[in-house]
Amino acid sequence: MILTGIVLGTLAAAYLAFALLQVFRLGLSLHQALLYVPLKLAYRIDDGQIRLARRADAPVVYVVTHQSRLDPALMLALLPGDTLHILDERAARAAWLEPWRELARTIAFNAEHVFVSRRLVRVLKRKGRIAVYMPETVEPEVRAFRLYRAVARIALQGDARVVPIFIDGARRLPFSLIDEANAPRRLLPRLRIGAAEPLTVAELVSRAGAATPTASGAAFDRVAEVRSRVPYAGLTLFQAVQAASRRFGADRPIVEDVISGTLSYRQLLMAARIFAGRFARITAPGEPVGVLLPNSNGFALTLLALMSAGRVAAMVNYTAGPANVTSAVRTAPIRTIVSSRAFVEKAGLDDIVEAAKAGGGRFVWIEDLRDGISSFDRLVAALFWRNSVGAQHAGAPALIMFTSGSEGTPKAVVLSHRNLIANAMQVESRLAIGPRDFVMNVLPVFHAFGLLGGLILPLLTGVRTLLYPSPLHYKQIPQTAAKRRPTILFATDTFLAAYANAADDGDFSSLRFAVAGAEPLRASTRRTWAERFDTQLLEGFGLTEAAPVVALNTATHNREGSVGRLLPGMRMRLEPVEGVAEGGRLWIAGPNVMMGYMSADRPGQLQGLPDEWHDTGDIVSVDREGFLAIRGRAKRFAKIAGEMVSLGAIEMLAHTAWPEDRHAVVAVPDKRRGERIVLVTTADNAEPAELRRHGKQAGIAELALPQDIVQVDEIPIHGTGKTDYAATRRLALDRLGLANAA
């Protein structure tokens, strides 16, 4: 009995001491700390950011993303004791929650009803605090979004600050409120609490810059921003994939291709461990290593292996032409390139290999690396597959990618691990995706859109992805989709239109949605996919320098003719452009914006942004709800007789006149007016009179219409599906006999 008493006394003293530590650390009351300790120990809670919430000056509204039945207990134990918690009816009645409900005042409400009330406003006006628990959905429909309107209105009327709170890991608890198919359960998942600095609704609205969302939109964006910041914070991409394997299960199938089958997280990371050891022996820490591989499992494991080894993966665009490849290899500079003999032979890339060698690159063949694997290598990988080979730094460069060069020579863009993870999580906070989904990625992974949407995002969200080798297989891709039944597709307008032309009506019936980017989405393409496949196309906008997504439409926040709203955590500003009445030149800032460029005149030297802002070179307008519309590229404006004319707007006019064909508009020299506009089109029946008729209906001055129409069989495109305007302009100059005048 004495021994038992000593043991119990010691445990009680330790319990009390740990509770007192929480009082000192977080400023809790002793009562709160005593009830928080068991939760803290069971779930190893990372709670450092809760201090942001506790320190917020009243009046304040805490907006808690409600993911599990444990959330109210945690918040009752952690938020200041004078907070009024607005609980759902189930939490307000739950007997097990009674000890925590005694820590603060609570009231019940029915989430089906908007809960703006004078009582809550009075609480805030008396320098009070309230905590509201919002549905977890990332794409709230009208009914759910009313709650954000209500919260914004309460905060405005009470002149209160808003503090969003997100509990990462809560969705995986056994008593999660999320569908288990999208949130695999774990008995004791580790929890991390994220919070943001307190800001008033007016400050949230102005903070977005030119995006100027509504009050409810600003509140929603702030909640999404915290949601995107917490998972994988402070990790490299390799470490984040390791963490994802724990979240979703090491044996979960995660990546596959059409030749070698499917790999689970464990198999992928084991293979990456083996290859990382090889790369560590033949390259130096932080060295850029070229990757010249198709969409395949081999690419995925090579990417992770380089990051495990602490190397920088440099994407070699094998469709860019020999001159651009030589330039890229010299600019990075890349001394070692990982590729496949079988791929080079099958794709006929001997000229690209020679061009890379001319730039100073030496090739390491993946077949040789695979043949050299020993039983000991496999044993070490099986034991240490979760461990990296090289040092890991989240702020270090992770990728070097090259811009598409649609208007000239490609530039080298340096992206950090933070940039890549931030953008993936920003997209995840906008799109309702999860482990029940299956991505079919046809876009090349050497392009930022294909890499982020088709590989990085799925790896971090537990979404199985099929890496299809070429987007140009217009007949095979619909057939593959009919057989494999993907739910999400990433593509460009060019490819989507081509797939629809080749597909049978049921081929894409499994898709929940497809995300279109890299070029404008035509109304005819959108209509075809809706009518034939019952598939919603979500248009977005991005650039390599933003890793790459900047704005995105979603299933419930979707405006045709726009590219969606700015991603959470991003800011924008517009600078006036001569001759442009609506909109301005877009500048962006955010956690996903690149570290900087490398240029051909200073190879290997990172030229960082002079401040946090990046000039996109795009002309955009923004409506009152924050939806962006792209008006054109600054470089794609022509000056005709002193008037600024958007080539992109004329291109869309041509799409209106001949919707079934492809069009590109370029400017060429003109001795009399400085420049003149040329329409390059695949439409056999394209006539100036028809274009003038459509221009008159659209209110476009005849001065802005093309003076020449050049008919072609195909519009030049890059491997990513984007129009190659440089090649198109050369074609137009040649056809018009102006090559010597350019």
Residues annotated catalytic, as ranges = 66
Rg of the chain, C-alpha, whole Å:
28
Hey, what amino acid is at 633?
R
| CB neighbour burial string for 590-613, b if at least 16 within 10 angstroms, e if fewer | bbbbbbbbbeeeebeeeeeeeeeb
Measured CA to CA, the distance from residue 445 to residue 429 in angstroms comes to: 22
Crossing angle of helices 2-26/30-43, nearest 10°?
Answer: 100
Which among 679, 267, 291 has a CA at the least distance from the CA of 451? 291
**Beta-carbon contacts of residue 240 (< 8 Å; ≥ 6 apart):** 232, 417, 421, 459, 460
| Residue 579, C-beta contacts closer than 8 angstroms, at least 6 positions apart | 637, 639, 643, 644
CA distance 664 to 337: 35
Peptide bond between residue 548 and the one before it cis (omega within 30 degrees of 0): yes
CA 297 to chain centre: 21
Query: How many helices (H) and strands (E) in the chain?
Result: 27, 33
The CA distance from 429 to 427, in Å, is 5
Q: At what angle do helices 523-533 and 493-502 cross, to 10 degrees?
A: 40
Q: Determine phi and psi for 534, rounding to 5 degrees.
A: 55, 40
- How many other CB atoms are there within 10 angstroms of residue 392's CB atom? 16
Q: Directed axis angle between helix 322-331 and helix 350-358, to 10°?
A: 40
Give phi and psi for 672, each to the nearest 5: -85, -40
Sign of CA dihedral 240, 270, 297, 595: positive
